Amino acid sequence: MTTTLNGPNGLRIVLDSREIFPSDPGDGTPAMVHYGRYAGTYWCALGEGELACGEYTLTDAQYRWIESQEDVVNEFVSDNQ
């Protein structure tokens, strides 16, 4: 199952339950942030404030929105394990 959360100016978080591997939590990418041609894992975007290994720095508004979605992302991952 995939779910897309749409944020400001085309920013989106794609949640994909097929990428959740309970026996190996470090495997898979269940939460990805996309903005144009840039992408990164949700947790990297939240921790670093950037996408594509630093090729794009999130704006303050984009970062605040990503941060505001943390409970939704964690609940999705937890509910689909």
- Report domain extents, the chain: 2-79
Say if residue 25's pLDDT is above 80.
Answer: no
Q: For residues 30 and 17, is the Cβ–Cβ distance under 8 A?
A: yes
Say if residue 80's pLDDT is above 90.
Answer: yes
Which tokens is 47 given? 């921790």
Say if residue 69's pLDDT is above 90.
Answer: yes
**Neighbour-count burial of 76, counting CB atoms closer than 10 A to its CB (0-12 exposed, 13-18 middle, 19+ buried):** buried
In this prediction, residue 11 carries a pLDDT of 98
Q: Which of the pair, 26 or 20, is modelled with greater confidence?
A: 20
- Hey, what amino acid is at 17? S
Give phi and psi for 40, each to the nearest 5.
Answer: -170, 165
In this prediction, residue 23 carries a pLDDT of 86
Mark out the alpha helices in the chain (DSSP H runs). 42-48, 60-68, 70-79
Q: What pTM was computed for the model? A: 0.93
Task: Tell me the mean pLDDT in the region 43-70.
Answer: 97
